[in-house]
Amino acid sequence: MTPIKKISSALLLLSFLFLTATAQVQPNKIKNIVLVHGAFADGSSWAKVIALLQAKGYNVVAVQNPLTSLTDDVAATKRAIALMDGPVLLVGHSYGGMVVSAAGNDPKVVGLVYVCALVPDENQSAVDVTTPYPAPGGAEFRPDAEGFLSLSPKGIREYFAQDLPLEERKIVYATQVPWATRATTEKVTNPAWKNKPSWAIIGLEDYMVPPALARAEAKMIRAKTLELKSSHIPMVSQPRRVAEFIATASQQL
């Protein structure tokens, strides 16, 4: 081999080693994740998942939606998206699925993850989505004089968070955030899943978004799915599985 060929071979080898090393240390292509809570909750419902995703190197923000209307919640979510410095994977739990379906049309959003969530078709409200699939937990909604809904102690204990230890269920009840009834009838006109890839987690023991509804939604949006033997809040009862699923979704974008 001539000296020139030897030098060329060495340079090629060094280039290969450099590229390989770079690929190994390169961060995830999608590093920004915005988490959207559902009704009766706030951003802290994602606490366990946040810690796990941060440990993987993700930039994570949990939106604090006011739950005063779908319009208000979409606006709060869009503000969180605007603060991100690049592409965003948007994740919605429960009623948060309505929110991300509307806010997900933001050009920064490149994918959607639905966690035991409501997924609207065009011009559907939360009431429209849930009416064909009555959920046992719906009987435990308690309206107040100001037009807000809360869950009864039985609703939390038996239908919302039944796979958590009793002490945690008591905390979920004590910290729940009332949900405006008008948010249940506002419609999503152009759901983002029609134009963006989607993933969905289905809770097999979910008494708020029944598995039959969640499966029908997943089929409608052609989502990649994960079924868990969980209550309505797997991000609290099975945070590792939820975090891994979200991370996998980000890597597939």
CB 247 within 8 A of CB 89: no
Q: Please report the pLDDT score of residue 2 as a whole number.
A: 60
Buried b / exposed e over 95-114, threshold 16 CB at 10 Å, is bbbbbbbbbbbbebbbbbbb
Q: What is the DSSP letter of 211?
A: H
pLDDT value at residue 12: 46
Residue 91 pLDDT exceeds 50? yes
CATH numbers and ranges of domains, the chain: 29-251 (3.40.50.1820)
Compute φ and ψ for 57, nearest 5 degrees. Answer: 95, 10
Residue 63 CA to residue 27 CA, distance in Å, equals 24
Query: In this predicted structure, what is the pLDDT of residue 43?
Result: 98
pLDDT (mean) for 145-172 = 98
**Average pLDDT score over the chain:** 93
What's the alpha-carbon Rg for the chain, to the nearest Å? 21
pLDDT at residue 4 greater than cutoff 90:
no
C-alpha separations of 158 from 68, 115, 117 in Å: 26, 19, 18
* CB contact at 8 A, 211 and 217: no
Please say if the pLDDT value at position 28 is more than 90. no
> What tokens were used for 141?
């909604």
pLDDT category of residue 29 using cuts at 50, 70 and 90:
confident
Question: In the predicted model, is pLDDT for residue 200 greater than 90?
Answer: yes
Q: What is the pLDDT of residues 96-135, one digit of tens each?
A: 999 999 999 999 999 999 999 999 999 999 999 999 999 9
Question: Reduced to 3 states, what is the DSSP secondary structure of residue 171?
Answer: helix
Side-chain-side CA neighbours of 24 within 13 Å: the count stands at: 6
Contacts 24+ apart (CB under 8 A), 166-172: 168/236, 172/233, 172/236
Q: Please report which confidence band the pLDDT of residue 53 belongs to, taking 50, 70 and 90 as the band edges.
A: very high
pLDDT band of residue 9 (cuts 50, 70, 90) is low
pLDDT over 90 for what percent of the chain?
A: 89
Q: What is the pLDDT of residues 209-249, one digit of tens each?
A: 999 999 999 999 999 999 999 999 999 999 999 999 999 99
| pLDDT tens string 56-70 | 999 999 999 999 999
Q: Are 126 and 98 in contact (CB under 8 A)?
A: yes
- Work out the average pLDDT over 166-179: 98
Spatial CB neighbours of 236, under 8 Å, sequence gap ≥ 6: 45, 48, 161, 164, 168, 172
